[in-house]
Structure 1
Amino acid sequence: MPLVGFVLLTAGNAFFVAAEFALVTVDRPEIDRRAAAGDGAARTVRRALHELSFQLSGAQLGITITALLTGYLAEPALARIFAPALHPLGPAADRFTPFLALALATLLSMLFGELVPKNLALARPMPTALATARGMRGFSRAFGWLIRGLNNSANTLVRRLGVEPQEELASARSPEELGLLAAISARAGALPPDTAMLLRRTIRFGDKRAAEAMTPRVDVIALRATASVAELLTLAQHTGRTRFPVFEETLDLVTGVAAVPDALGVPLANRARTTVASVAREPVYVPESLDLDGVLAALKAADADLAIVVDEYGGTDGVVTVEDLVEELVGEIADEFDPDAVDDGGPVELTVPGGERTVLVDGVLREDELVEQTGFRLPEGPYETLAGFLMARLGHIPVAGETVEEGGYEFTVIEVERHRIEQVRVLRPEEPGDDA
């Protein structure tokens, strides 16, 4: 009879362990969906999740009770089973039997009462939670007074430590957790890589600043206020751009933004003598520190496609367009007007002699883009882009052909224009087994 009790108590311990792990790992949205569809067990699980601390305390109480009773019954029951086998040892058998019985009872209880139900609940949380829901509900009701008393005492001690106890787990996830979840889902094959990339970029969108998405000042194509509409149209034909900042004296004095559609509205005969200032629209200014959500809101409020990015001193730092914001989500957008564009808007894969795989990237890549395209993370330093890192390592503005090695990566400057590093070839470290 004690042996039967040991088996039943081990099963009871397994029940409480499975219920505990299932409650903390079950998919809550799926429980809500099933409960809304009329699943009674799912509704019970949902109620338990709303009082999770109470339910987990109940499971712990059940585990404690069954573990104590298991130890009380198992040792004498198993000792009687081992006694005949150890009888030849004589008086020594009386000393060895209790230890052997206790060791076996602990092993069986740990294996079948703890580890097996825990692993089962982690592998199949939904069916485990549904199967144990009503039993846990009944136990919690029967011993509710004791569970609440113990739980309240524990909460009092926790508050003394300066921490406010929580009745249920927070279901919200931080942006970092969501991004990590998207990456894990892509690696597991649950999400297409492109979809996972879009999700991660969307999550990071609001954390980026105007300075990170803008076209820097040195690359801004602008027109003096005295330039003619005809000059604007000619410039548009050569550059493929449709909007140009209009300035007086220097680019720090932007007075408007001239667009091709407005210029085309000027009669052909008047275009040579009509200034761009007369067709320019009021410029939209955004600080370089403004997040991209704010930049997008400013552009929408002004019904504009281009904003002037200004630094803390009021000087022009660059321009940011709607296309720049879209590219922060989907990556580089190549069109017929981008002279150096590649078909897929991503890094160019090159095969160099010896079979080494390299990547050709822009020198102005920021760290997040560099990690995304090459796997290399910029070391700490006074720079924000790959070009800044290379200039810091070399100590001067490089010329084409100069090389920097860092962390197993080799960076070769391919093109420099107007003191700016345009393109860099990145040679990544060999993967283990590449020479096999």
Structure 2
Amino acid sequence: MLTLAWQLPVLLLLLLLSMLFTASEIGFLSVSRSRVERMREDGGRLGGVIAYLHGHRALLLSVIILSITTCNYTAERIATSIGISTLGTPWGPVVAAAIMTVIILTLCETTPMHWAAAGPARAVRWTGGLVYFFSIILRPIVFVVSGTVRLVLRLFGVRAATILPSVSEEQLKAMIEACEEQGELQACERRMLRGVLAFGDQRVKEVMTPRRDMICVDLNATMQDVLDLGLGSRHTRLPIYDETPDSIVGIISLKDLLPYLARGEMDRPAKLAARPALHLLENSPADIALKQLQEARQLMAVVRDEYGGTAGLVTVEDLLEEIVGDILDEYDVEEPEVLAVAPDEYICDATVSLRILANYIDAPLPVEDFDSLGGWLLDLAGRIPHAGESFQEDGLRFMVEQSSETRIEKVRVTELPESS
């Protein structure tokens, strides 16, 4: 049995090792593959060691878990021995257990976890050599333990799978923010990555062109009428309807009019060139809608509301813009939905999705309750506000810049200081 003079240094060493192993676990599971590759290319032998451990997760986790368990168990035994020698029984073991529980939870678990999460690359550089050294020493034990685990799993009919890191969406968002702060991501790249994460949560009705802004063709129109309307609106595809826009029967592409134009048959009914329309529900997830458009080999779909009426139109371009931002051609006039005019001040289109606006401001927004900024303001006002009216809600000031008798058009959004 070690004397008290030896027990304290050994106890401190074990706690330090436990801290380092905990930090290494979070660091290796959080650091990106691309960052590890850069370490391997620039970090010499240590970089190669880190890349090896990162590529052998089963070995890595087995060594770390075994080391943490051994360090904590041995430290608790030594602490109990110190407690008995100083306080006697029964209080010595009780006090030792209480103190060790607090120390392990705070110093050996929580603190290194947060430290490693704040800088995964730094954590693996600090601990990579230590983990590799213990992986060599403990490899025989790890081999026996891993074999036993696989045998037990096989008895229960479970096949051991490759160990992969489990990362939640919130962790991914935090990692994106950390990468931007460290200069590894530009603002546009961060916005694109956040768009990918939010894409599955968006609904078609948040992305579509609403019915009031649709340009449609009557079923009785001629092909020349369609061509004139398409050239005037600069749209290459137009929905065709029977009596009302609630009865859209197809989509006409101006490209399909070229054979009739060449033959001088533009006075023929436009419905002859119409193709069947794909119909989507307004509450369909955006990612599912994109997949349906791909499978149907369509670039445009009619969006239906819960009553079967036409709610709007959605295109592949509309959906992709939620990820990559506005896609402009040579005819588009760039009018961003959100324009920064001053620090914490933006001019916004009232139709902008609250999910998109959330990428620009820090204040919480009711993204689950309202689709657009205009819809939220209509709910706050209880009516259609006039230009010049302002509202204040949740640390934000809204000034209506433009409005009509039927809707809000432009809004100035200002983030207020916390003292306001």
Sort the TM-score into its range (normalised by shorter chain): 0.7 to 0.9
CA distance in 1, matches of 2:259, 2:280: 28
CA distance in 2, matches of 1:276, 1:282: 13
TM-score norm. by structure 2 comes to: 0.73
Structure 2 residue aligned with 1:231: 225
Aligned AA (1:214): M
Q: How many residues align?
A: 376
- Residue 307 (structure 1) shift: 0.5
Aligned AA (2:28): D
**Does 1:62 find its partner at 2:74?**
yes
Structure 1 contact 207–292 (Cα < 8 Å) conserved:
yes
Q: Which runs of 5+ in 1 are unaligned?
A: 77-101, 153-165
Structure 1 contact 26–129 (Cα < 8 Å) conserved:
no
CA distance in 1, matches of 2:292, 2:368: 32
CA distance in 1, matches of 2:63, 2:196: 34
Q: Which runs of 5+ in 2 are unaligned?
A: 41-45, 88-94, 117-121, 150-159
- Residue 231 (structure 1) shift: 1.8
| C-alpha distance after superposition, 1:347-382 (max 9, x if no partner) | 22336xxxx863211111222122223444445996
SS at match of 1:207: coil
Structure 2 residue aligned with 1:163: none
Aligned residue runs from structure 1 range 243-392, under 5 A: 243-267=237-261, 270-339=264-333, 341-342=334-335, 345=336, 347-350=338-341, 358-379=345-366, 383-392=370-379
Structure 1 contact 209–292 (Cα < 8 Å) conserved:
yes
The CA RMSD measured in Å over matched residues stands at: 4.4
Aligned AA (1:57): T
Structure 2 contact 64–131 (Cα < 8 Å) conserved:
no
Distance change >3 Å, CA 198–CA 400, structure 1 → 2:
same
Structure 2 residue aligned with 1:124: 123
- Residue 320 (structure 1) shift: 0.3
SS at match of 1:173: coil
- Residue 419 (structure 1) shift: 0.6
Structure 1 contact 310–316 (Cα < 8 Å) conserved:
yes
**Does 1:210 find its partner at 2:204?**
yes
Structure 2 contact 63–131 (Cα < 8 Å) conserved:
no
Equivalent position to 1:409, from 373, 378, 396? 396
Structure 1 contact 367–377 (Cα < 8 Å) conserved:
no
CA distance in 2, matches of 1:45, 1:383: 43
TM-score norm. by structure 1 comes to: 0.71
| C-alpha distance after superposition, 1:263-298 (max 9, x if no partner) | 233225635412221111111111122222221222
Structure 1 contact 374–428 (Cα < 8 Å) conserved:
yes
Tell me whether 13-22 or 326-335 shows the greater mean CA deviation.
13-22
CA distance in 2, matches of 1:17, 1:357: 44
| C-alpha distance after superposition, 1:392-428 (max 9, x if no partner) | 2222222322222223432222222461212112233
CA distance in 1, matches of 2:51, 2:352: 54
Distance change >3 Å, CA 52–CA 386, structure 1 → 2:
same
Structure 2 residue aligned with 1:420: 407
Structure 1 contact 332–346 (Cα < 8 Å) conserved:
no
CA distance in 2, matches of 1:141, 1:23: 21
Structure 2 residue aligned with 1:94: none
CA distance in 2, matches of 1:282, 1:382: 34
| C-alpha distance after superposition, 1:316-340 (max 9, x if no partner) | 111100110121112233445445x
Report which of the two structures shows the higher radius of gyration computed on alpha carbons. Answer: 1
Distance change >3 Å, CA 26–CA 240, structure 1 → 2:
same
CA distance in 2, matches of 1:275, 1:139: 80
- Residue 36 (structure 1) shift: 12
Aligned AA (1:212): E
Structure 2 contact 49–128 (Cα < 8 Å) conserved:
no
Aligned AA (1:307): A
Equivalent position to 2:193, from 199, 212, 225? 199
SS at match of 2:206: helix
| C-alpha distance after superposition, 1:235-288 (max 9, x if no partner) | 222222111100000111111101111123322563541222111111111112
Aligned AA (2:220): T
Structure 1 contact 409–427 (Cα < 8 Å) conserved:
yes
Distance change >3 Å, CA 253–CA 49, structure 1 → 2:
same
Structure 2 contact 403–410 (Cα < 8 Å) conserved:
yes
- Residue 208 (structure 1) shift: 1.6
Distance change >3 Å, CA 251–CA 26, structure 1 → 2:
same
SS at match of 1:294: helix
